[in-house]
Structures are given as C-alpha cells and as structure tokens.
Amino acid sequence: NFAINQLEELRETISILANGSETLNEDIKRLSTESVEYENNLQHLVENVSNMKLAVEEEHVFDEANTRNLEVLNQSLMSSQEKIDDMQYISYDGTFVWKITNIQDKLGMYKYFKLLTGR
C-alpha cells in the first residue's frame, strides 16, 4: 500500500513537472517569436532613421543651393537695376548729363558749410 501511494505521488509529480515543462516550452516559443518581431521592427526603425537622415542631408544641400542661387539672382537684379538707372542718364544729343546721388545729404552739408563759414 505504501509503495502504491509513493508511486501515485511520483506519477503526480512527474505529471506536474511535464505540464510545467510544456508551459515553459510554449513560453520559449512565444518569446522567441516576439524577439524576432522586435528585431525586425528595430531593423525597420534603423532603416527609417537612416533614410530620414539622408533626406535631411539632401534637404540641407538643396537649401544651401537655393540660398546661393537666390544670392546670385539678387546680385543680378541689383546689377540690372544699376544698369537701368545708369541708362536714364545717357544723353543722345551730345550733351553731358551728370547723375547726382544723395542730393538731400549734399544740400544739407552745403547749408551747414554756409552756416559755419558765414558765406
């Protein structure tokens, strides 16, 4: 009777351990699958970050090129404006035309000079 009870307890213990082992094996499979999924997600994130970094660098180069182009365009516009301004003072009848710039400043200086010298 004692031996039978011992065998019965041993069988129950083995059954419990077998069920526990099966549960652990299922957990290992699940964790392994999750690990692969996390690895794949991480790899995709790394690729996305790399692509975004490249896109930002390309955008930076594009912005620098646009800035340079705008500077060149602005210089060209200023040069064209100067040429247009100069063309307004070209004489076609042989007379000389002088372009006087900042006339208000020069008149102010002249008046100040007259005031100082008393002339």
pLDDT value, residue 73:
97
84-113 confidence digits (pLDDT tens): 877 776 667 767 667 777 788 888 888 878
Radius of gyration of the chain (CA): 45
Answer whether residue 33 is part of any domain. yes
* Residue 104, domain member (yes or no): no
- What is the distance between the alpha carbons of residues 119 and 114, in angstroms, rounded to a whole number? 5
Range of the domain at 57: 2-93
Residue pLDDT, tens place only, 57-74: 999 999 999 999 999 999
Fill in the DSSP letter of residue 93. S
Residue 111 lies inside a defined structural domain of this protein: no
Determine contact, residues 97/89, Cβ cutoff 8 Å. Answer: yes
Q: Which two tokens stand for residue 58?
A: 């390309």
Q: Could you tell me if residue 35 is inside a domain?
A: yes
**Residue 109, pLDDT score:** 84
Q: Is there a domain that residue 67 lies in? A: yes
- The tokens of 17 are what? 């351990």
Neighbours of 89 (CB within 10 A): 11
| Cα separation values, 85 from 25, 81, 94, 99, Å | 88, 6, 19, 10
What tens digit of pLDDT does each residue of 2-49 get?
A: 999 999 999 999 999 999 999 999 999 999 999 999 999 999 999 999
